Structure 1
């Protein structure tokens, strides 16, 4: 541990501390109840502060904290992951991405190795593409190819972040083969979809505490996801600003083009039902009505605020589970809310160009994933040869 330079006497430091014996880079902030902190520079060279102990910490405790900090192995994967998660680059990510990366980090650093210690404790500079490939193949071989693919994408990003900031010299995860993920392109039959929508409407009329009930907004979300070919997150982020005279203005994600879905009696009924449900919730809870239309969410929860995507996912999974328990559908017939978008694109009339314009996809190849309709074509035909050619020897 670095020896501390001679300090000037600080009258604010607690009297039980021998100031001459304080470890280097440890300082005392007397404001408030007081805190011991250490100073360091981040990857951008900016001075940063980290509180390490309260004011009543002993000198021995301060030395122990600094000994542990100085003995931290900065060459390990665990240390690099921690630096990435503490960086501004990580905090700029969406909450769902941060949650996914936190899960992938835990999977990586806790992987067992033949050396008898977890992968997180190995020196990152000794990683090779072959080692990363074995790791990915091992996770995929456990029957979880999607998990292996997520871990690989996370490791690539962390190593590239570390390479750009001098933590490592190369990115050994580049060029590693990703496992083939399972393709779940489920297309719910129209009859089953309509039965489940009607079931959600009926159960949504029950009191929320009654057995078998489900949220009243669930059938509305199902209708809008199918009719407008929307993802779940796109449905729950609709507001009154998306209601136009000509139809519903979509708010598509992942680079898809927005469009306006023309009003039909069924779409108008679903939209008006959502507004009526919202009005009942807001009236019952004395919730103030925002003046600006973009501040008025179309889909709200029982609390009156905009429904979150995680809340929608939970309600959907419970609804599907109860439907299976009731014998409405089989376990193998279970499908996701996102599959209603696939059903909507498949049921869109017209050519592939019409379907692409309706779905908002910029790349026509995406229709191979979302449009599962079978085109009706004519049989091949050729003109019959003339009699003279057929009779010619």
Structure 2
């Protein structure tokens, strides 16, 4: 379990524990045996649709996505409790999840091009000056798009993932690893991040011990020289994309997420659904279908 996942679980536990029931008691004070399936179902619905105005409620935003995160955490925790003898049943079993709208926030081809150009322009500004953005934003965009990587998968790229034939994408969430062949854009992006890392590690007055093993030399690093956390990358991305909208590079409706670059990469992959599934590392074509937004071109019917 990663540090980020542990932090998420602690936040979910706090939110569930502070949840105020109809009788005024908090869920954290209720014995497990008194928690029923209808109680859990109502909890999911309340978090999904919006909680009552109550100052005692936790500050976690009420959305279907957050409600389902809380529900899955509760179901997993109670299943562990059953297995280890802490409770006799799992009231979260059989509860229906909240319906989530499909929001991939994938960039249009034009939006991707103009935002990438903007990232390169502003990344060339001196650091921490007005209008600048981190120099790593543009190469991260290229790798996330071309190798169809999540943000966390870009953060964990190391020198060991640089193979002669291409970039070894070490994937999460049960997806299969894959190697994306080099092209000029990916090569330039990797070299740019590697040069930035070397400049940070070799900065005058810095006593940084460079890892000897290639699998320990992370490609994307903070100014301190340490590996960049996923949260840091996401925060930098939000500041950058907000600046892009503020300066009229893209409209608000064209805003896209860092993860949307993977959607764009899968959609733009040449080939059939099987080719796209292999490129994305998905275990099933159903998952690929959620990432591939290309409209199929089919032939008209022909009467015999």
**Residues 118, 249 of structure 2: 8 Å contact kept:** no
Structure 1 residue 217 displacement after superposition? 0.9
Could you tell me which of 95, 101, 119 is aligned with 1:200?
119
- SS of equivalent residue, structure 2 residue 202: helix
Per-residue CA distance 1:286-343 (angstroms, 9 max, x = gap): 5343332222221222222221111111110110111121122222222110110110
- SS of equivalent residue, structure 1 residue 294: helix
1:349 aligns with 2:252: no
Q: Distance in 2 between matches of 1:147 and 1:225?
A: 25
Could you tell me which of 17, 21, 24 is aligned with 1:109?
17
**Residues 160, 215 of structure 2: 8 Å contact kept:** yes
> Which residue pairs with 1:5 in the alignment?
none
Q: 1:289 to 1:154 in 2, by over 3 A?
A: closer
1:172 aligns with 2:91: yes
> Which residue pairs with 1:244 in the alignment?
163
Larger Rg: 1
> Which residue pairs with 2:211 in the alignment?
290
1:274 aligns with 2:193: yes
Could you tell me which of 42, 45, 62 is aligned with 1:137?
45
Could you tell me which of 357, 366, 374 is aligned with 2:295?
374
Equivalent runs, 1:41-80 vs 2, <5 Å:
none
1:315 aligns with 2:223: no
Could you tell me which of 87, 98, 108 is aligned with 2:6?
98
Q: Distance in 2 between matches of 1:308 and 1:239?
A: 14
> Which residue pairs with 2:57 in the alignment?
none
Q: Distance in 2 between matches of 1:151 and 1:372?
A: 29
Could you tell me which of 355, 359, 364 is aligned with 2:280?
359
Q: Structure 2 unaligned runs (5+)?
A: 51-61
Could you tell me which of 133, 137, 140 is aligned with 1:214?
133
Q: Distance in 1 between matches of 2:154 and 2:41?
A: 39
Bigger relative contact order, structure 1 or 2, given CA contacts below 8 A and separation 6+?
2
Per-residue CA distance 1:258-291 (angstroms, 9 max, x = gap): 2221121222111111222222222214534333
* Count, aligned residues: 291
Q: Distance in 1 between matches of 2:213 and 2:42?
A: 55
- What is the TM-score when the length of structure 1 is the normalising length? 0.70
> Which residue pairs with 1:304 in the alignment?
225
> Which residue pairs with 2:30 in the alignment?
122
Q: Distance in 2 between matches of 1:225 and 1:193?
A: 12
- SS of equivalent residue, structure 2 residue 104: coil
- SS of equivalent residue, structure 1 residue 213: coil
Q: Decide which moves more: 359-368 or 221-230.
A: 359-368
- What is the TM-score when the length of structure 2 is the normalising length? 0.90
What is the RMSD computed on CA atoms of the aligned residues? 1.7
Q: Decide which moves more: 230-239 or 104-113.
A: 104-113
> Which residue pairs with 1:41 in the alignment?
none
